[in-house]
Amino acid sequence: MNRQSEKESFAFYESYPGHVMIFRWIVLAVIFGLGVYVLSDIKEILGVAYVIYSVVALTFILPLSRCVSCYYYGKACNTGWGRLAAYLFPKGDESQYVKHYSYAILLHLLWVIPFFASFFQLLRRKEIVTLIVFLSYLLLLLVERVTLRKVACTRCHQKYFCPAVPFRKIGVDKSN
């Protein structure tokens, strides 16, 4: 192993530390909570449907489309989901990680739906509260992307080829 690759492998997390996971969970939980609020505010049944879809997405779609073919399968990734996936499904082929990324649209619905729902509420009601909710949701999504990149992607084994890296420039960033 040359000095450059030693430096890079040292920089990768084999397992993410607890504080990164806790931070990621707090950010994601706040976004999820606001999403439930937005949909429930339109109609309670929409909030319930969103929660059910989230459970299905996180226990089937995410593990099967990403975690089983991820380096962090069975390990603590930045959300700890790699460990959970190992309990739910057998290990897949890591070379299929990028190919399976096309299923991500089903995961993106988790934030796309509340985003458009909050925009719909803003157009419908034109109140200061709905404007605050819409802008807060937008801001939270941005914070989530920026912090994912800063606290997780920069130390991730997948970072040079993972299509989920926010602001793709990280793919050529070898300074971390």
Which residues form the interface with ligand SF4 (CB under 6 A)? Answer: 78, 152-153, 156, 158-159, 162, 164-165
Determine the residue type at 63: P
Round to whole Å and give the CA distance between 68 and 2.
30
Q: Which is nearer to ligand SF4, 69 or 121 (CB)?
A: 69
Minimum distance from residue 151 beta carbon to ligand SF4 (Å): 9
Minimum distance from residue 65 beta carbon to ligand SF4 (Å): 12
Minimum distance from residue 23 beta carbon to ligand SF4 (Å): 13
Minimum distance from residue 106 beta carbon to ligand SF4 (Å): 16
Q: Which is nearer to ligand SF4, 76 or 162 (CB)?
A: 162
Task: Encode the chain in three state secondary structure.
Answer: CCHHHHHHHHHCCCCCCHHHHHHHHHHHHHHHHHHHHHHHHHCHHHHHHHHHHHHHHHHHHHHHHCHHHCCCCCCCCCCCHHHHHHHHCCCCCHHHCCHHHHHHHHHHHHHHHHHHHHHHHHHHHCCHHHHHHHHHHHHHHHHHHHHHHHHHHHHCCCCCCCCCCCCHHHHHCCCC
Q: Which is nearer to ligand SF4, 85 or 156 (CB)?
A: 156
Asked if residues 72 and 50 have their Cβ atoms less than 8 Å apart, the reply is: no
Minimum distance from residue 83 beta carbon to ligand SF4 (Å): 14
Q: Which is nearer to ligand SF4, 12 or 119 (CB)?
A: 12
Q: Which is nearer to ligand SF4, 116 or 161 (CB)?
A: 161
